[in-house]
Amino acid sequence: MVLKNRKKILSLVTSVALFSGILAGCSGNEGNEKSTGNEGEEAVTLTMLVDNQTQLEGIEAITDAIEEKYNIKTEFETRPGGSEGDNIVKTRLATGDMTDLVWYNSGSLLGALNPEQNFADLTNEPFMENVMDNFKEAVSVNGKVFGIPGNATNAGGWLYNKKVYEELGLSVPKTWDELMANNEKIKEAGKTAVVGTFKDAWTSQLVVLADNYNVLAENPNFPEEFTSNKAKIADTPAALRSFEKLEELHENGYFNEDYLATTYDAGLKMLAEGTGAHYPMLTFSLSALAANYPDQMNDIGFFPQPGDSADKNGLTVWMPGAVYLNKNSENIDAAKKWMEFYVSQEAIDLYSSKVSPDGPFAIKGAELPEDVYGAVKDMLPYYESGNTAPALEFLSPVKGPNLQQITQQVGSGISSAKEGAELYDKDVEKQAKQLGIEGW
């Protein structure tokens, strides 16, 4: 996306994408379609399953407009997040008790939901021409596309406090060495260089996950080789480097002293108040920062995780969750009309009027409002230039479940980078065999 009155983004992510799964339904016309919900016809009510962490305000602005325009109402049902929610989704699909529309992850989890059996094939729907190709690949199985983007993309990288940078005369780093030099100056000034929030284990993964642009810059075929068991992280220098970067932060003492007991919420507070200068994080955290520290949002900037060469500086992107159409819905036509509007610029404007997006949308030519977060504006040049790549979990169906525990160990010095990478390779092997992936 671009800011209004600025040039449109020609490409969002240049690499293929793939991440967690989503729900929804399937092939085109099954002969069981009800009214399309046009004005003057009987109203249609679509049911939609979302997890209880989904921010509904922006979505409801869109569904209210859909009801007004097309006489199609939307009723939301909620489920828990995490593994409990995944089990509910799988059970409801298996028993035929699924809603018309389903909000679920894009990427690597999708295959586990058997989308060809459960979700409508949207590949040839005209409205899919509005959706960026990289996102479509994140919701594709066997060449068929099954979902539309539910909200904006976000990126993994480094949030930083601009006031600290100004105070110490620092510049945004383009290489890892430059970032480490900044960290040293911040540490010497008596501030926390890198906010660590390992009490919430998932946050320990970001240095490794956000490095995927740099991995692909050195090894473009790594995702395919990794998925087919032809390449290991521990034996691939560019991939091992991601773990080494995390190790270096610990060895140099750049984390806050109590990082093992510090929570995500406390980390956001440190960043906003400037007691911590950097926080490796996903940009979805901008919403939480804005809610809790609105007066400090102009102090928050963002840059990609640097690689070892300034000539290959780029951004690792996370695809948004997707909306899927239940193949067995009795309202296929109405649901497709709903989806067509959902991926329009009008819908994006409605969403953005209620929720400030944490990144550009995966819609071709979509515009962002002028008042988006400054950190989102920092992301735009990478989207506009095409210097972006998806996180590995959007490029490979394999993601070991214990990565966060392993990165905790590496980031706290319990395991070396090499040991951590080897542990993760073993973790991945177990999952790949469970999934029955060829080559394992």
Fold agreement (20-151+320-366, 154-317+400-435): yes
CB atoms within 10 A of CB 95: 8
Report the pLDDT value the prediction gives residue 37, as an integer from 0 to 100.
52
Q: What is the pLDDT of residue 83?
A: 78
pLDDT over 70, % of the chain? 91
Q: Worst-scoring range by mean pLDDT, 12-16, 86-90, 356-360, 415-419?
A: 12-16
- Candidates 3.40.190.10, 1.10.357.10, 1.10.645.10, 3.30.70.20; correct CATH number of 154-317+400-435? 3.40.190.10
Fold of 20-151+320-366: D-Maltodextrin-Binding Protein; domain 2 (3.40.190)
Which pLDDT value is given to residue 110?
87
Q: What is the pLDDT of residues 314-344, one digit of tens each?
A: 999 999 999 999 999 999 999 999 999 999 9
Give the per-residue pLDDT at 365: 86
pLDDT at 84 over 50: yes
The CA-atom distances, in angstroms, between 263 and each of 162, 200, 320 are 22, 6, 24
pLDDT at residue 108 in the model? 75
pTM of structure = 0.82
Dihedral over Cα of 339, 345, 349, 352: its sign: positive
The confidence score (pLDDT) of residue 40 equals 54
Mean pLDDT in residue range 394-419: 94
% pLDDT > 90, the chain: 80
Residues 134 and 383: their CA atoms lie apart, in Å, by 12
Element (H, E) at 154: strand 154-161
pLDDT at 35 over 60: no
CA torsion 218-18-208-314 (nearest 10°) is 50
- Least confident segment among 4-8, 165-169, 174-178, 267-271: 4-8
pLDDT value at 12 more than 90: no
Q: How far is CA 174 from CA 13, 29, 181, 307, 309, in A?
A: 19, 51, 12, 7, 8
* CA 302/CA 10 separation, integer angstroms: 22
> In the chain, where are the structural domains located?
20-151+320-366, 154-317+400-435
Which tops the pLDDT comparison, 135 or 30? 135
Q: Provide the angle, in degrees to the nearest 10, between the axes of the packed helices 417-435 and 403-411.
A: 180
Q: Across 6-15, 79-88, 213-222, which has the greatest mean pLDDT?
A: 213-222
pLDDT for the residue 26: 35
Q: Quick one: pLDDT at residue 15?
A: 37
Give the best-scoring range by mean pLDDT among 31-40, 50-59, 183-192, 358-367. 183-192
What is the tens place of the pLDDT at every residue in 96-106?
999 999 999 99
* pLDDT (0 to 100) of residue 318: 95
